[in-house]
Amino acid sequence: MTYQPSPNRYNNMTYRRCGKSGIKLPAISLGLWHNFGHVDVYDTYQKILHLAFDSGITHFDLANNYGPPPGSAEENFGKILKEDFAGYRDEMIISSKAGYTMWDGPYGDWGSKKYLVASLDQSLKRMGLDYVDIFYHHRPDPETPLEETMQALDLIVRQGKALYAGISNYPAELAKKAIGILKELGTPCLIHQPKYSMFERWVEGGLLDVLGDEGVGCIPFSPLAQGLLTNKYLNGIPEDSRAAKSSGHLQEGEVTEEKVAKVRKLNEIAIQRGQSLAQMAIAWLLKDERVTSVLIGASRPAQLADSLKALDNLTFSAEELDKIEGILK
């Protein structure tokens, strides 16, 4: 049966302006970091993508190395794009990134012009696209001049291979410099993608101020702290969780008694708000107007549906925020 998008797909999603740009992003965007590789079940991630689009999620975030194996998330996304979303490309914001190890040798990593241009060409082939909407430098490179990396992003936009440039994982001072260089080159920085959650607050030490002042959007990833900010760990570490699989990004040692105690207290506030802990954690990020969109992952459609309910209650009372701060301190 051919997939037909829901005619009501734009009715329930909130869209927020990305910095000072002409682009609006859905308050919740879908990241394909995990669960979309060749090791995953095609039917499952196909359904996740269908539900996302049906729910008004227009932004799909990828990177050259997403999988596993690296590159396979882009290949799988490209296949579904061709088969199911053929007439809908112009309703989507598709992003990719380069900055981590992608191929052998000195040109398959970091931030040289050689690597960024080649990597995007590979990404476009894998997805079957002429251009991406946003192309990010995935992480700062201490050995390549910042000017070279930003010139590569500027070149890519001028070539029409990306419409907008972004940066990810850049600390405040470096982000400010990168944004300044891009502005001078005439390709303004659209957006910054940092790791940000109730448990990971480094962006509050200056980065959010820089983005607000410069009119650059912000799209946090890992809003649920790799699953810590869900009801999954309320009673210890379940066998099927990321923390139990030591190959994951959340290590068992990170799920401490102290953290679990905080999670339980946060969960009590979420219940009082009529939300799951995951929903509250997403809403908590969106309370800041400098945050354009929150990037979530999903391993099954039900998980995505649950996260989307965060949009039903985005307001926090001063008392709730004080209580949350008290727990997190």
- For the chain, 329 residues long, the average pLDDT of each consecutive 10-residue run is 95 97 98 98 98 98 98 98 97 98 98 98 98 98 98 99 99 98 98 98 98 98 95 78 59 81 97 98 98 98 97 98 97
pLDDT at residue 248, rounded to an integer: 53
Q: Give the domain ranges of the chain.
A: 15-227+282-314
3-state secondary structure of 29: strand
Over residues 184-205, the pLDDT tens digits come to 999 999 999 999 999 999 999 9
3-state secondary structure of 66: coil
Give the whole-angstrom CA distance, residue 252 versus residue 281.
21
* Percent of the chain scoring above 90 in pLDDT: 91
Write the CATH number of the domain with boundaries 15-227+282-314: 3.20.20.100
Over residues 269-323, the pLDDT tens digits come to 999 999 999 999 999 999 999 999 999 999 999 999 999 999 999 999 999 999 9
Give the whole-angstrom CA distance, residue 325 versus residue 328.
5
**Rg of the chain taking only CA atoms, in angstroms:** 19
User: What DSSP string runs through 122-177?
Assistant: HHHHHHT-S-EEEEEE-S--TTS-HHHHHHHHHHHHHTTSEEEEEEES--HHHHHH
